[in-house]
Amino acid sequence: MAYQQGVNMMASSTDVMARLLALKPAHVEPRFTTVEGWKKFQAEEALKSNQQITDRNRQARMEKIIGRSGIQLMHRECSFSNYRVECPEQQAALDAAKGFVTAFGKSHGGFVFSGNCGTGKNHLASAIARNLIKRGYSAMVMTVSELFENHRATFSKDSPVKEADLLRDLCRLDLLVLDEVGLQKGSEYEINLLTNIVDRRQLQLKPTGMLTNKTYEEMVGMVGERVMDRQTDSGIWVPFTWASMRGRKGKNS
């Protein structure tokens, strides 16, 4: 009985598909010509929808834990379109940031924006995160001091957030951008935490961004060679070598 019902339903679906194809204008190319093709499309769309819901929930959970949006308030309006370009090097940095977004999901490589304060590192990193969030990915920009503060808070017996849960969600974000890398004390605890997070994210093919005013050699000395090896594997290093734009009218940094 069940088998016969299935056969009848398939025949009915095929008849409907045939009638729809017969009604289409001659110049229209149909997306589906078979019931099987339509069912495959529906299954793929369901998977995409489930993943987007998962990413939105992860984003919301991290924002609740950290107590703010994935992008700091002062950088929420930063975009590629309002990034001011005044030299070839700035154009190269803008192109690299846009390229990272375009290629996102095709590589696990992260990025390092290296340069002095006020050169626009946060602007482009926030623009990257904004673009990815709009596309349904989960992303967060946070300072390393903010990371350490939230991690240490989990040590309290009264903490509503467990260390394992915090690390799990940090490592499952589609993009995590760590600001002020290299300004920390460089203690064993800090290096171990950064190494742990970058390693786990790499193993899950999740890229990490880093913003710093240190050179590559100084970064190796501060966070360790293993972290930098992981960070630049299939990733990009973008130098921000121009003068600070802070204090100049109409400029975002």
For the stretch 50-65, pLDDT in tens is 655 666 666 676 666 5
Over 70: is that where the pLDDT of 180 sits? Answer: yes
Q: Identify the residue with better confidence: 154 or 16.
A: 154
C-alpha to C-alpha distance for 231 and 60, rounded to whole angstroms? 26
pLDDT of residue 14: 65
The Cα-based distances of 156 to 101, 159, 161, 163 in angstroms read 38, 5, 9, 10
Q: Identify the residue with better confidence: 238 or 243.
A: 238
Over 80: is that where the pLDDT of 245 sits? Answer: no
- Greatest alpha-carbon pair distance for the chain in Å reads 78
Instruction: Select the highest-mean-pLDDT range: 6-15, 29-38, 39-48, 215-224.
Output: 215-224
pLDDT of residue 50: 61
pLDDT of residue 241: 92
Instruction: Select the highest-mean-pLDDT range: 60-69, 74-83, 242-251.
Output: 74-83
Over 60: is that where the pLDDT of 168 sits? Answer: yes
| Model confidence, pTM | 0.73
Residue of 169, 77, 67, 65 whose CA lies nearest to 129: 77
C-alpha to C-alpha distance for 207 and 197, rounded to whole angstroms? 11
pLDDT of residue 41: 61
Task: Of 67-76, 174-183, 228-237, give the lowest mean pLDDT range.
Answer: 67-76
Cβ-contact 96, 111 below 8 angstroms: yes
C-alpha to C-alpha distance for 76 and 86, rounded to whole angstroms? 22
DSSP codes of every residue in 197-231: HHHHHHHTT--EEEEESS-HHHHHHHH-HHHHHHH
- pLDDT-derived band of residue 219, with 50, 70 and 90 as boundaries? confident
Q: Identify the residue with better confidence: 91 or 220.
A: 91
**What average pLDDT score do residues 151-162 get?**
91
Task: Of 40-44, 124-128, 211-215, 228-232, give the lowest mean pLDDT range.
Answer: 40-44
